[in-house]
């Protein structure tokens, strides 16, 4: 073998070893996450499991408590709300009326500074971020096709999906089955526990023509967040911190990252304080204004809560109105069955929804925001119980005040 051939062979050998080490490292992370996740689900695993994380820097300035004259919810109703929340394995429940705290209660050893996983409530924040990117001119229109920011799909029919399709969950992209550590070859499992969140998202295939079918799809938000990153030229957590978390004066938060310096999980998991979500709900109720500043365009908030043409229960990454009405809870229903005993008592109610019944209900007509967090499954959840008992208390007070 010549000296030149030996040098070439050495370079190739080093390259092969380097590639092998990289592959083994990524597989090691994947397998370690599977092993440590064990029999948990994403609700019960706890925020400490998610590693590594990327900081979302905040600048906390918490909401004020109501003064004596500002307390409007009756003591009896507050007691009922707290008893129900505790019975349903809640870790926090709080109520805001006209911008002041009426109720703030923690369970299971938590306090105001405890972080929780809001799960898919993070999707609503993604829609807020898109509204900011539109306002700042990074994106021309909600009806823009995504191809300019997803060049991987430039010559692909998937590049014709619009941002509105993503917001309304009508992209037509395949919906992956739930991830499960027992099924390591599933795309969803390799995505969730692996080290390339974006790569797996870009592997999604088209199942239906865009704009023809509503289908709730976690991966849509990963794609939406990727567009925001590429359009703004900023990391998602950085853009979130600069344009929402700090202007709204929320506490420090964090997001799950696939690998050091890699991509955050954009469809969920902004680890944060429950009270900060009360404040995000209040921002929507006040049509994007906070402390005299317009953080989100009012027109965008209005657009977010308009029902989708294909499914009236959903807007731009937020649930609108009633979800499920049943006269009776099925005898064999699982404990996480999303039962709703009656319609919501206010027609304009909309809500953020996260896995495990993380909730922020916003009721503009009664100037209410209600937040519930949990770290374990409730035993008999009723979607309408907490908001309705509070709304009806205020309605009864209105009747008493007017004598009508």
pLDDT for res 188: 74
CATH code, 30-59+117-272: 3.40.710.10
Q: pLDDT (tens digit, 9 = 90+) per residue, 335-373?
A: 556 678 888 999 999 999 999 999 999 999 999 999 999
Strongest mean pLDDT among 65-79, 278-292, 340-354: 278-292
Q: Name the residue with tokens 């019975």.
A: 87
Query: Parallel, antiparallel, or unpaired for β 90-97 and 293-294?
Result: unpaired
Distance (Å, whole) CA 283 – CA 271: 19
Sheet holding 253-256, edge to edge: 53-56, 253-256, 270-271
**pLDDT-derived band at 10, boundaries 50, 70, 90:** low
Q: Is residue 265 within 8 Å of 76, Cβ to Cβ?
A: no
pLDDT for res 366: 96
Distance (Å, whole) CA 199 – CA 263: 10
- Each domain of the chain, given as residue ranges in start order, spans 30-59+117-272
Q: pLDDT (tens digit, 9 = 90+) per residue, 205-254?
A: 999 999 999 999 988 899 999 999 999 999 999 999 999 999 999 999 99
Residue 14 has pLDDT above 70, yes or no: no
Write down the pTM of the prediction: 0.89
């Amino acid at each position: 073998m010549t000296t030149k051939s030996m040098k070439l062979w050495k370079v190739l050998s080093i390259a092969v070893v380097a590639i092998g080490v990289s592959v083994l490292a990524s597989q090691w992370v994947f397998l370690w996450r599977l092993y440590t996740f064990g029999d948990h689900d994403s609700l019960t695993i706890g925020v400490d499991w998610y590693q590594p994380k990327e900081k979302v820097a905040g600048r906390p300035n918490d909401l004020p408590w109501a003064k004596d004259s500002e307390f409007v919810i009756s003591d009896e109703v507050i007691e009922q709300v707290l008893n129900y929340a505790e019975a349903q394995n809640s870790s926090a429940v709080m109520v805001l009326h006209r911008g002041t705290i009426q109720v703030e209660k923690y369970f299971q050893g938590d306090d105001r500074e405890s972080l929780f996983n809001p799960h898919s409530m993070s999707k609503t924040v993604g829609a807020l971020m898109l509204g900011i990117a539109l306002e700042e001119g990074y994106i021309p229109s909600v009806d823009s096709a995504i191809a300019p920011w997803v060049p991987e799909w430039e010559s692909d029919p998937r590049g014709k999906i619009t941002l509105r399709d993503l917001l309304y969950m009508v992209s037509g992209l395949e919906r992956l089955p739930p991830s499960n550590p027992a099924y390591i070859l599933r795309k969803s499992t390799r995505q969730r526990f692996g080290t390339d969140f974006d790569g797996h998202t870009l592997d999604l295939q088209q199942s239906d023509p865009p704009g023809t079918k509503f289908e709730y799809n976690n991966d849509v938000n990963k794609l939406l967040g990727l567009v925001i990153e590429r359009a703004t030229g900023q990391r998602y957590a950085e853009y979130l911190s600069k344009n929402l978390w700090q202007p709204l004066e929320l506490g420090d938060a964090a997001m799950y990252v696939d690998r050091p310096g890699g991509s955050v999980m954009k469809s969920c998991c902004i680890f944060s304080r429950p009270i900060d979500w009360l404040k995000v709900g209040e921002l929507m109720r006040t049509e994007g204004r906070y402390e005299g500043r317009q953080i989100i365009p009012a027109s965008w908030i209005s657009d977010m809560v308009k029902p989708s043409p294909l499914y009236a229960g959903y807007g731009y990454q937020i649930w609108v109105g009633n979800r499920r009405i049943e006269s009776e809870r099925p005898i064999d229903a699982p404990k996480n069955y999303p039962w709703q005993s009656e319609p919501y008592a206010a027609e304009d109610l909309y809500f953020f929804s996260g896995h495990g019944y993380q909730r922020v209900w916003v009721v503009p007509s009664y100037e209410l925001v209600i937040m519930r967090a949990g770290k374990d499954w409730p035993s008999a959840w009723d979607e309408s119980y907490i908001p309705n008992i509070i709304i009806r208390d205020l309605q009864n007070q209105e009747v008493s005040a007017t004598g009508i």
